[in-house]
């Protein structure tokens, strides 16, 4: 999506960028992995100038765009962020008619064949929310088949945005179904609590365990992540270490960047504890900057 970062107070200036939960994760994941793995991004864009700029941005980040398709009559989605003095953000979206809402859809039946050759597939609840209900269900069924027939790993983040769903019940049903076909779970305690009204973290963990989840992390912000492995024990202190002098400027991509750090560690053969630490430290780096994606030149200095 196109990201407009608005100035504080009554400023009329805005900064143009590109972001979105899975896009943020893709960018940070590629930066962390470098040439050791190919990172691809799958979506539908328009043929408008901003869509072209987005593709050029992905190329500048060395992200494969070969599975992106294009709509002749729809545009790339857009959102604006306002951030308060504590780094908390408010979003305004313009994406009801975005090209991404047509993802996997053809004239007759949905086409998921672009997913066939990947070893790992990462999606979020936002991915599911913007799709028609029948396409969501078909996608989840297709992912279940890929897991069984190709040993494809499915990574899922339950980013819950109430306004994107037709009802809370639809969101609960769909996200529960997604958890049941997930290999690496990357939920946040806030999203899970908002959607399922869990009374505490223990209730969230119990519910996740009932889905069959045995791998991943429960994101808890400044408290640090909780491992979803080894009987859901709390992460060792080194994994949740936060530098004393860190600052919070913008938490927009905190969870997305955690996902990238966590996954990059696993891809490179590190263990679960190291992955937790990698995810948390990546998020700490990102939230010290404005906007979802830290500019590449600034990232290299971190």
- Cα–Cα distance measured from residue 128 to residue 9, given in angstroms and rounded to the nearest whole number: 34
Structure tokens at 28: 């940070």
Cβ within 8 Å of residue 180, ≥6 positions away: 211, 212
- Cα–Cα distance measured from residue 100 to residue 79, given in angstroms and rounded to the nearest whole number: 14
Residue spans of alpha helices (H) in the chain: 21-33, 49-60, 125-129, 133-150, 168-180, 189-196, 201-210, 254-267, 272-286, 296-299
- Cα–Cα distance measured from residue 40 to residue 132, given in angstroms and rounded to the nearest whole number: 23
**In 3D, which of 222, 223, 131 has the Cα closest to residue 178?**
131
- DSSP letter at 113 equals G
Query: Which residue of the set 21, 157, 250, 256 is catalytic?
Result: 256
Contact (Cβ atoms closer than 8 angstroms) between residue 285 and residue 49: no
Q: What are phi and psi of 261, to 5 degrees?
A: -65, -40
Structure tokens at 95: 């994406």
Q: Is 256 a catalytic residue?
A: yes
**In 3D, which of 221, 220, 236 has the Cα closest to residue 271?**
236
Contact (Cβ atoms closer than 8 angstroms) between residue 41 and residue 64: yes
- Cα–Cα distance measured from residue 222 to residue 242, given in angstroms and rounded to the nearest whole number: 8
Positions marked active-site: 256
């Amino acid at each position: 999506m196109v990201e407009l970062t608005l100035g504080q107070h009554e400023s009329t200036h805005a900064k143009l960028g590109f972001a979105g939960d899975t896009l943020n994760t893709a960018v940070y994941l590629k930066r962390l992995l470098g040439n050791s793995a190919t990172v691809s991004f799958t979506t539908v864009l328009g043929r408008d100038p901003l869509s072209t700029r987005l593709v050029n941005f992905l190329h500048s980040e060395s992200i494969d765009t070969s599975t992106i398709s294009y709509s002749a009559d729809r545009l790339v989605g857009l959102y604006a962020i306002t951030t308060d003095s504590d780094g908390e953000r408010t979003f305004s979206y313009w994406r009801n008619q975005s090209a991404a809402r047509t993802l996997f859809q053809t004239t007759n039946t949905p086409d998921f064949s672009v997913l066939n050759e990947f070893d790992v597939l990462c999606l979020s609840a936002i991915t599911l929310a913007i799709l028609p209900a029948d396409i969501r269900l078909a996608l989840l069924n297709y992912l279940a088949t890929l897991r069984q027939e190709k040993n494809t790993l499915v990574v899922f983040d339950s980013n819950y945005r109430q306004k994107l769903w037709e009802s809370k019940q639809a969101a609960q049903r769909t996200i529960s179904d997604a958890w049941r076909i997930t290999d690496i779970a990357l939920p946040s305690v806030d999203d899970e609590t908002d959607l399922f009204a869990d009374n505490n973290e223990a209730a969230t963990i119990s519910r996740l365990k009932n889905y069959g989840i045995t791998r991943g992390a429960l994101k808890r912000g400044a408290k640090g992540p909780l491992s979803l492995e080894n009987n859901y024990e709390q992460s060792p202190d080194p994994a949740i270490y936060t530098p004393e002098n860190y600052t919070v400027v913008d938490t927009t991509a905190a969870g997305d960047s955690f996902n990238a750090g966590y996954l990059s560690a696993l891809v490179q053969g590190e263990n679960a504890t190291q992955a937790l630490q990698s995810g948390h430290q990546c998020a700490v780096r990102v939230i010290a900057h404005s906007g979802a994606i830290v500019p590449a030149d600034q990232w290299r200095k971190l």
